[in-house]
A and B are shown apart, each in its own frame.
Chain A
Amino acid sequence: MKLKIFKFKWSFYLFIGLGVLLTTAKAQDTTIQKEQISITGNITDNLGGNLIGVTVRNLTSGNTVISDAEGNYKIQAAKGDSLSASFVGYEDYRWQFSSVIIQNINMNAIAGGLNDVAVVGYGHQKKISLVGAQSSVKIEELKQPVANLNTMLAGRISGLVGVQRSGLPGSNSADVWIRGISTFGGSGSGPLVIIDGVQGRSLNDLDPEDIEDFTILKDATSTAVYGALGANGVIIVNTKRGKVGKVNLMANYLEGITQFTKVPEMADAGTYMNLRNEAAVASDLPPFYTQDYIDSTLDPSANHYVYPNVDWLGQLFNKTSHNRRFNFSARGGSENVQFYTSLAYYEEGALLRTDGLSNYDAGTKYQRYNFVSNVNMNWTKTTKFFLGINGYISQFNQPGAGAGAAFNNSMNISPVRYPIMYPGNLVSGIAEGSTPSPNPWADITQTGYKETFRSKIATTAKLNQELDFITKGLSANVQYTFDTYSTNDQNRTRQRSVYYLSQTKPYNDDGSLNLEQVISGSDVLNYGHSSSQDRQFSLQGQVDWHRTYGDHDIQAMVVYSQLSEPNPTADNYQDAIPDRQQNYAGRLTYGYKGKYFAEYDAGYTGSQVFSPSSRYAFFPSIGLGWVLSNEEFWKPLSGVFQFFKLRYSNGYSGAIGGTRFDYITTITDNAKGIDFGTPSDHIHYNGINIRHYGADVSWAKSHDQDVGVEFNTLNNKLTFVLDWFEKRRKGIFLNRANFPGFAGLQYWPDGNYGRTLNRGFDGTVELLPMPLTDKLSLSFRGTFTYNKTILVENSAAPYEEPYLDPQGQTILTNMGYIAEGLFQSEGEIATHADQSGVGGKPRVGDIKYKDLNGDGVINDLDETFIGHGDVAPWTFGFGVNVKYGNWYISAFFEGVQGADREISGNARSPFSGAEDNNVYALATDRWTPENHAENPFYPRLAYGKVPNANNNVSSTWWIKDISFIRFKTLNFGYNLPNKIFKHTGFKNATIYCDAVNLCYWSPFKLWDPEMNTGNGNTYPNTRNIAVGFKVNFD
């Protein structure tokens, strides 16, 4: 009930406010005087707050005044006098008096200083007044020669955890989380991303050059205004806006090379054949290759069409590829119109080779064109209009069989089965049924090509009206956004005929190769296409009020926003209904003397997931801040700590789970059903089945608490921001899995059952540029993030054994057996618990598992939680910047600690998959009857599924530490001295070299530890090194 009043009241006020507007308009007079006259005005900061105590000086006459409690000043000046306004923490403001006698002054805070403007949800605040936990990153750090911005985030911002999962152009973006993953089950764990004021836009849509600021909101006080969307944290990004002043043109060009950070080392032909023979013999099979055959294969002069010996990875991949970026932007404007426009082009090639023989382009290449046009207009003195349009079109070309698959296949193919091609451009391979075995070389050169076209246009229109005539400091704005996104795929693919050398009679009578066709295909390229489209519309209305009364600074905000996402390419009626949500939010902040700060935030969100009666949820939060260093008693300490602040926040934010219209019971009328009748006379009835049980579900709520301390030392040069946090989330969406099977439900109904507890801390240490000599300066920045999320409640039935209960475990852990080493003798097998349920009869050299319940049998009741999961609890980053004259160099390292991964597939069981796959070169590190190794990488090798069954299951044996430290970026450059350009119109220019992912250190050796794969067959991450030239001119 209370909530409804709240909602009603504020909409009522907005009505009144807007209505009054219609009837009011004030004329502005200006009078020109020639004598010494009074100039008056109001001094505000960037946020519109009155600045009290600002020194206004007439530089010509030496006259000085101080602004009063309302921020007003009055000073005498004659025409032509120079004046200035100055205030601690702000850039000086200078102007020359000509004719304007009411000179309102807006002072810019010193960048990075305490009075600087910080981005918060639906607005801005002074940095000193922040009571919530948030961090931002310097945009310069994100400008690296990579396609996707989010790969640059991990380690740079405290509280952000990120992993780059693949290096394939066009899909090399990273997964990011704020303060780790706090949820489980099917609920989303990623942060809400707000770009230019609206959600649903992607970070990777932007070119880093176009970004003005980048902020993450980490606790409830900063995210509560996003209501039910904020529980996983929020990322706010704004694109650059125009500036009053001369037009500044910027051009930037870089050209780089890319390389794999790590190519998996696969066995060569000799190693492969010997190991395969060993595995076969150990599995009671005859060896596959005779010594003669092995010798011939390894003999460089042998006919390798008959004795194939292929290094597939080496064949398919170049050592380097390239990328390229070009940016051009223009920024400037007059008092009434300011603009920022930019064009960008980015191009990245993959390391896949092409044979250059086809008359089409099967090269793997990603190209993207970005544009931004942001225009601010002051339609009247009090009416501002913003129109921002940004977007991109991109194009990704790849071989018909797919670039990702090519990498996978080239790792998983035998080096000795067939050559890359047979003479006469014939595709080599064997057939498994009617599908050919993979031939990755043919995949990238012979299968045609696929092109993916994407485009996006995001448009923001915003009208802002100051309403000072109603009450001072009041303003209102309306924002409307419309975005459209489309993807189109065109495939021109083919399956050519496949040939295989006769194994019984390799040569024809005339001595030529006896090739048998195993698959009959076609050389004609087929055509196929698919497309999809998304669009979204949002509308937002906001009223802001900011006023300073003496020592009291009060700021209030209410906002309404709604978002609608129609799905024009939906394939069913329900999905075609636009996805909608609604959010009301408000904020009240109070500051006293720059010492005490309090803030109340609340969001009130509505979603279609929930029934009309419980559709809205309320998420309040409160935050407190205390700047001790502004207290009298701090004076003695101010020599050590120039700034010291404590803050605490406590509040709620939400997360939506479940399905749309979760409250409605729906059926499907094409369930499996039944056939009746005989083959000659039969009838099929589809079944009607419950598709979804309507459930009275609600929101997941996160109760966040955060304690933060910020302090500066070394004369404000060294700054620390440290936060401890606790997030208790309850009501996580889960199926009601404790519903007994005898109820006969088709699916378990949804419910809010899950609970987690996420605790951790994060921090930033920053050394602002320290001049060491007159030319040399040094700065440093380091961040760290730690979190651990425990599953508190999953609403499951009690477990048989305590070690089977996931409650109390970290949420990302896996289940498996505990390996107790390898069986070293038959006697050991006989006395150990019966492992036949795991995979038949274990052999000497196989993994021995712990009998956790002591029943003498190893089965699923002996599994427990092993490993911590592949998202690390610890993330850290540190970087150093050195400037020497016109030279600069900066290096950044990123690392994670405490993550592990269970390896699987070929990496776990070298000879158990398809009959022909390759194995890691590391497979030589295995148990053999000769070495009886205690702790090799692999247990005894075996060939086939059955002999490998004992070892090819989840166990601690296969859990590998994937912590790493990565030399993430290295940037150095030279700012060309200005004198060079004196006559060219250039303002400044820089020659630079940027490098990304130079190298890493990790205990994990098989593949780049960041990749999300259990067997290494993902296109690896890349190292990008680029040189560029950037020039600014007026």
Chain B
Amino acid sequence: MKLKIFFAGFILAIGAAVFSSCSKFLDQVPDITLSDDSIFANLQNTQKYLAQVYANVPDPYANRGGWGNDDGSYSQLADESNYFAEHDFSINAFSYNTLSASFGAFETLWVEYYKPVRTATDFINKIDGANPREVTDYIKAHYKAEARAMRAIFYFWLLRLYGPVPIIKSPIPITASNEQLALSRTPFDSCVNYIVGQLDSAYDELKAISTQSQPTSLPLNNEYGRVTTGVCKAFKEQVLLLAASPLFNGNAMYKNVKNHDGTPLFTQQYDKNKWKIAADAAKAFIDEFVPETYDLFTVNDSDPYTAAYKACRDVISTDWNKEWIFGKSMSGSIGHYTYNAIPKLVGYGSSVNKGGGYLAVNQSMVDAYFMKNGYPIDNPKSNYKKTGFSNFECPYDIKSRETFNQWVDREPRFYVGVTYNNTYWMDQGSSSKEVVVDFTYHGSSGKVQSDHDYSSTGYLLRKNITKGSDSRGWCLLRLAQIYLDYAEALNEYDPGNADILKYLNLIRKRAGVAQYGSGPDEIAAPTTQSGVREIIHHERQVELAFEQVRYFDLRRWLEATDALNQPVRGMDVDADGDAFYNEKVIKNISFTQRCYLWAIPSIEVRKDANLVQNLGW
């Protein structure tokens, strides 16, 4: 009897426990320190949120031939270098031009460049409310300007890839209805005005808090890679130059690209004044920041040729020298890039660092470099020999060796940019036999060494490759480019202006090649506007080779349909001995009018009926 009462009581007790607890049984909630309210609660989180704005700054070192979230492998899209040996690299589909609007890179970068836009907008909207005990007014102003400038720069990167894009002024809520999401593209000129306006505001915000001890022309706390007043001005100039260029300045090709409501996305009127605005912006930058903040990088050496070689080699690999304006600091992926460009070097001991050896340089790029005397190879005065061999010691070699005549007596930048056959390798390790690069078929870095990792042209990219693979930064914008921008813009609206040759010659002088002029060792400059345009374009191709500039230049100038429809040429990597040096077509590539702008990812166009596609996609 007692037992029974006990059992019944037991059931009751459990029942009571169940029903008193069950209403709250599910009410566990994770700690809210990880909720989005906590971001502006302290300085550390504020800094981290701003870091997220910067996180997707492109890092070409990370390039493996595909496209990651911060990739930028534009060099391989131009006529500079190629990954042809490895079919799997999606980047090759660009060259074949067989891709569709749903190609991965289109989808990746569209989204990855818009992510920081959203983060930056949210940051700008909320930073003033950050916890004042930790985040000072100075920091608020500085960070806000940084976020504002970065947002504009990401828009610039979108603009040069896709053309006009939707400008999103406030973060779209995740509960937005499909109608709220159906936004249209913003016309090109409005995009430019917005970006320039934002960069000006960021500049003004930084200027307003600049002090003697902490000038905002230098990065906050010397944290190179942050936005400064100079970065704002330099990118403003970049945007304006893009807007002045033939691709966007009255390009009739795009006259029918309109939003569904009839708004044209591209102004059809050519406006010469845009060149002036761009040139003025470049000049304003130079006047304000050179030489106090920025200057061309030079190296002292008793031999001027060697000095030039070292300056051109190190300007890119010496982090944040005075020539760097913007870059991505301390890439962890530098090993990827160097692996691609270091030869295979099979048979040398383990002390010699070996690479994949497939980031090949095109013959057209090899041919673009000037001769030591400053003339292009097709100039009769250049002393260029297309065939035969000479005993020649290049600037980094320890002795002279038999060298194909095409590679003899070229300008210093050639030896900075290209690894060619039978040349002394920079990393000898502790190898007992001399480490010499051999790209011939059976050579130590030849095609036979791998079924897919080999140089398709018999050359490898050398610029920015160093012996070590410790983390470094990648320079995304340097002063030389601003000089060349200035010369280019000036030539378009004020041909004959003395500044054109002045700034062009500053570049050539540093590179150790003869300057344009009438002096005894100088080369006569062309007399026509188009002639000068040509030498400016040529100088850019050589000076900024492999720096992710050429692809956009060819598009800006509307020259890509010529340059990128030429077959890719190189040495005959299927041959040994002298037969190797027979120039051969490696691949036919294609660039049609649609390629001047990337496709708006087809998935985006499908999602948003108001988002019109670019021409030809």
**Which A residues are within 8 Å of any B CB, using their own CB?**
11, 14-15, 18-19, 21-22, 25, 27, 284, 379-380, 382-383, 463, 465, 476-478, 480, 539, 541, 560, 562, 573-574, 577-578, 580-582, 606-608, 612, 615, 661, 664-669, 671-679, 681-691, 693, 695-696, 736, 738-746, 749, 796-800, 834, 836-840, 857-861, 915, 943-946, 949
Contacts and interface: CB of A to CB of B under 8 A. Distances in A.
A687 B114 CA distance: 16
Contacts of B300: none
A682 B45 contact: no
Contacts of B472: 679
Contacts of B452: 944-946
Contact of B48 (A14, A380, A673): A673
19 contacts: A22-B5, A382-B4, A665-B35, A666-B34, A673-B54, A675-B471, A677-B225, A688-B48, A740-B608, A742-B117, A742-B183, A743-B171, A743-B172, A744-B111, A744-B116, A744-B117, A857-B98, A915-B451, A945-B88
A687 B26 contact: no
A687 B48 contact: yes
B22 A562 contact: yes
B93 interface: yes
Please indicate which of the listed interface residues A18, A379, A615, A943 has the most CB atoms of chain B within 10 Å of its own CB. Answer: A18
A478 B15 CA distance: 8
B403 interface: no
A10 B1 CA distance: 28
Contacts of B5: 22, 25
Contacts of A22: 5, 8-9, 12
A799 B19 contact: no
A415 B451 CA distance: 19
A560 to B, nearest CB: 6
B28 A577 contact: yes
A691 B34 contact: yes
A539 B18 contact: yes
Q: State the majority secondary structure of interface residues on A.
A: mixed
Contacts of B55: 671-674, 687, 689
Nearest to B116: A744
Contacts of B223: 676-677, 683
Given A15-B15, A674-B225, A740-B608, 10 more contacts: A25-B5, A284-B574, A477-B11, A582-B26, A671-B55, A685-B47, A736-B174, A743-B168, A797-B606, A946-B451
A797 B607 contact: yes
Contact of B4 (A25, A477, A582, A664): A25
Interface of B: 1, 3-5, 7-12, 14-16, 18-19, 22, 25-31, 34-36, 38-39, 45, 47-52, 54-55, 57, 85-88, 93, 96, 98-100, 102-103, 107, 110-111, 114-119, 165-166, 168, 171-172, 174-176, 178, 181, 183, 219, 222-226, 319-320, 328-331, 450-452, 470-473, 574, 601-604, 606-608, 611
Contacts of B103: 860
A465 B48 contact: no
Lowest 10 CB-CB distances: which A-B pairs, in order? A837-B98, A744-B118, A944-B451, A797-B606, A676-B223, A21-B8, A685-B51, A675-B330, A687-B52, A674-B54
A672 to B, nearest CB: 5
A843 to B, nearest CB: 14
Given A676-B223, A677-B223, A746-B115, A836 B98 contact: yes
A947 B39 CA distance: 52
Contacts of B328: 674-675
A262 to B, nearest CB: 31
A380 B3 contact: yes
A906 to B, nearest CB: 15
Nearest to B20: A11
A698 to B, nearest CB: 14
A675 B5 CA distance: 71
A145 to B, nearest CB: 43
A740 B183 contact: yes
B391 to A, nearest CB: 31
Nearest to B441: A286
A837 B99 contact: yes
B347 to A, nearest CB: 10
A577 B39 contact: no
A667 B222 contact: no
Please indicate which of the listed interface residues B39, B85, B86, B329 has the most CB atoms of chain A within 10 Å of its own CB. Answer: B329
Contacts of A665: 35-36
Given A669-B45, A695-B174, A678 B224 contact: yes
B574 A943 contact: no
Nearest to A581: B26
Nearest to B47: A685
Contact of A738 (B51, B178, B219, B602): B178
B451 A480 contact: no
Contact of A21 (B1, B12, B39, B107): B12
Contact of B174 (A21, A745, A839): A745
Nearest to B108: A741
B285 to A, nearest CB: 22
Please indicate which of the listed interface residues A27, A749, A836 has the most CB atoms of chain B within 10 Å of its own CB. Answer: A836
A736 B8 CA distance: 52
Given A608-B28, A946-B452, A480 B14 contact: yes
A665 B116 CA distance: 18
B28 A678 contact: no
Contacts of B4: 25, 379-380, 382-383
B532 to A, nearest CB: 37
B222 A677 contact: yes
Contacts of B39: 667, 688
B301 to A, nearest CB: 23
A27 B1 CA distance: 8
A687 B88 contact: no
Contacts of B14: 478, 480, 539, 541
A18 B11 CA distance: 7
Contacts of A944: 451-452
Nearest to B23: A7
Please indicate which of the listed interface residues A578, A608, A678, A946 has the most CB atoms of chain B within 10 Å of its own CB. Answer: A678
A1006 to B, nearest CB: 24
Contact of A740 (B16, B87, B607): B607
A233 B5 CA distance: 40
A693 B51 contact: no
B48 A669 contact: yes
A691 B39 CA distance: 13
Contacts of A683: 223
B42 to A, nearest CB: 11
A926 to B, nearest CB: 19
Nearest to A18: B12
B52 A689 contact: yes
Nearest to B70: A672
B145 to A, nearest CB: 16
Nearest to B451: A944
Contacts of B118: 743-745
A938 B464 CA distance: 44
Nearest to A944: B451
Contacts of A560: 18-19, 22
A541 B183 CA distance: 54
Contacts of A736: 174
A850 to B, nearest CB: 16
Please indicate which of the listed interface residues A582, A673, A691, A696 has the most CB atoms of chain B within 10 Å of its own CB. Answer: A673
A381 to B, nearest CB: 9
A949 B223 CA distance: 46
Contacts of B174: 693, 695, 736, 739, 745, 749
B168 A25 contact: no
Contacts of A666: 30, 34-36
B116 A667 contact: no
A118 B48 CA distance: 61
Contacts of B107: 741
Given A541-B14, A608-B26, A676 B219 contact: yes
Contacts of A857: 98
Given A668-B34, A740-B604, A744-B168, A688 B49 contact: yes
